[in-house]
Structure 1
Amino acid sequence: MSSYRSWEEREAEAKKTRAEAGLLEAQAAAASQSLVAGAAKTETDKLAEQVKQARLAKQLNAVQDDAADERRRRKADRREASLDKGETFKRLVTLIFILGLLASLPSLTMYFLGLRAEDGPDEPALYLLTLPFFLELLAFTSVKGTQWAVRKGFARWPFWIMTGLLAGFAGYINGSKGYEMFGTIAGLALAATSIVGPALVEVREFIEARTAGDNRDAAQRAADKAKARQKHAEDKKLQQQDTERRAMFPKEYEAYRRILASVPAGSMGRDEAWKEAGAAVRFPDVYDRMQALISLPGSASRTEAFAAAWQDLYGARLGVTANVLHRRLSAEAEVADVLAMAEMTPERVAVEKLLDDLFPTWSGGEEGPTGAVPAKGPQGPSRTPGALGGIGNRTSGRSPRTDATEPLKTEDIERAKKLRAAVPAAQFSTPAVAKLLGRSKVYARRVRDAVESEQS
């Protein structure tokens, strides 16, 4: 068989080979890229896992720290509660009581066994062997009796007396025996074994009785003590104030105590009661009327009742009486007189006369004979003429005041005399005369002065 192939066949075979080679190369590249991508993904997964592990480790550490803090807090709370309840003190007191009992019994036993009957054999007094246990049991019973009395609310002093007597008796025996055998220090120590234990137990029971039902902690008790001290200081200041008030104002203080006793507790303050007491002493009639008003059903407040009582008795608003009103009107009249006198000074009279000579047509002062304001001239007169400074600016239509120089009418003087006789001297003022006569204050002052001169 011939192996000859044409050029076209060989070229086709070559193309096929090249295509297969390219395919294999592409597959190899794809496989290589897949390996690279897989390696990258693996590395990313490793990093993610590491981050996750680190986060979990951090959370675990936080949880462990919180748990440790919680354990420390609970431990501190237990320690604080133990200190607050005095558990360590109580356990130590119990231990001291037991050790004292164990130390006291041998000494008491040796003491009683060492006793000898007179004219008897030299043998231990075995029939006295139970006495030490009896004495210590009595002391323990009295201590327990104190506990029972505390819980039942009974008096504790009988058990205190019994505990003191029994512990003192046992302490005396132990002390004398220890002093006889070992000296002073040993005697005192043995005496303490019988006395200190029961005494500490009584102290413990006393503290428990005082703090029974008290659920406050140390901070709360300290705050309450500070508040109590502050209140005590304030109460002391108030007591000192009451003492000073009683010494300096005895009548007001008596009324003050009476007022506080007559009202519901806490309904009136101290200062308000003291102010009312002063009013009661100074105005007893008004205060009695106020008491009558507030005793009626549906009455107003004490302040409103006092104002109403004042109105009933004096006919004016609170604080005003007839004398007060009279003094006020008199003062106002005196002020008006001073102003009227200041209105017509000698210098102004001289100026008015000069103006009368210079301007004969001037019909009067600024007020005129009846107090009317004259009309202004056509040239616009000065608004505030001085003593002589406004002469050149005055209009020729003005004339000097006639009420300052005109003769006084007899009928005006007679009418003023009647007013002088009808009213008090303080009310016979220039404004009153001016109102009576219907004239200016300048003319009225001249009439009043004439009447006053005749009266004097």
Structure 2
Amino acid sequence: MSSWSEERRRNLAAEAEQRRKNKDADAERSRKEREAEDKRRRDERRKDRDEARAEKAQRRREKAQRRQARAAKREKTLTPGNVYKRGTLLLVALSALASLPAQVLHFVAIHWMLFPIGPAVEGAAWVMAAGTAYADERKLSPWVRWLLRVLSLSAAAFAANINYQYGLSLTEHGVSESNARVAGLGLAAVTLGGPLFFEVRQWVLTLSASTADPKKQAEQKARAKHEKQRRKVFKDIVARQEQLMLAAPYGTLKSEDAFARAWWDVEGAPLGVTANVIADRLDAEADVSAVLAEAERTPERVAVELLLADIFGPEGGDGGSSGTSTATPSGGPRGGTPEGRTALGGKGKRPVRSTADTEASKPLAEADLEAVRKLAAALGGVHRLSARNVREAVGCRNEYALRLRDAVRAEKPEENK
């Protein structure tokens, strides 16, 4: 019996311990849930505060942007140009409102059926003024613009005269004569001044548009001057250019490309080059070649060559074992010409004949002369021969080319002019 009671007590104690643990677990779980809920609420409140601050900052930025936009718009609207353009339109509108009732009353006083005449006369002045502005915008012929101006001012002058007469007629309604005259002059002034103000506004806008980009305007003037000068100097080439532009499909050939092709067709050479330019260049090259060939034979060089020839003897001579010359030099300071003498070919050895001396003493071959004659015919005359083109045609050295050129030129002296 005692064992059962003991077992029962132990079971009750275990159940009580288990209930306590469960209660503690529930309490811990409830505590954690409360903490999690509190944290979630804190996060939500923090998030709400952040969103509220962001929205407030965004509203401040939008407000600042709107303020800046209004300031920029106000600054743009109140520029002198906009004030002038809008102010002129306002002045024109006031002029029309002041002059039109007098027109209507004047003609209605005559007969009620004449009511449309007043708006028609006043409207004619404004329609012609608008036509002048449209003609300026479309850059029509000057006579069209001036015709519209004359028509506009004529209608305005007629309306101004009617308004002046109406102002004088106010004396019939008890207005003093001086006041009636002032009223007539005022009506005439606003009637004529409205179209005049609008016309002056149009002139100012046209002139300001033409001077809006001075650099572009200067470029257009320079381009027009260049085109005019080109047509004056190169008439045949410009005519050929226009022919090419007309022959090609529209828009496929550029003007400058057509001019370059026309230059080649007329002058037979690249752009900017003519037959006279080629001839002058060839003559200049020939002169330079001659000067360079002559410059190779300075007095000092001739003296050195003669000295070396005296010491070592000329090439092919029989100076013997002593190496002295057995012949007297035939050039330089001793009375001859320096042909056939050159500097040493090596270090302290004896002088040798250069290729230039060989070319100078070489007889002119008939085949080479014939080649140079054909070259002269192809170039258009012997006066266009130069050492360079002869050298390139024959394939020889400069001295031989000079001799060939001079020989062919000597055959036709009348073409050397």
**Structure 2 length-normalised TM:** 0.49
Higher gyration radius (CA): 1
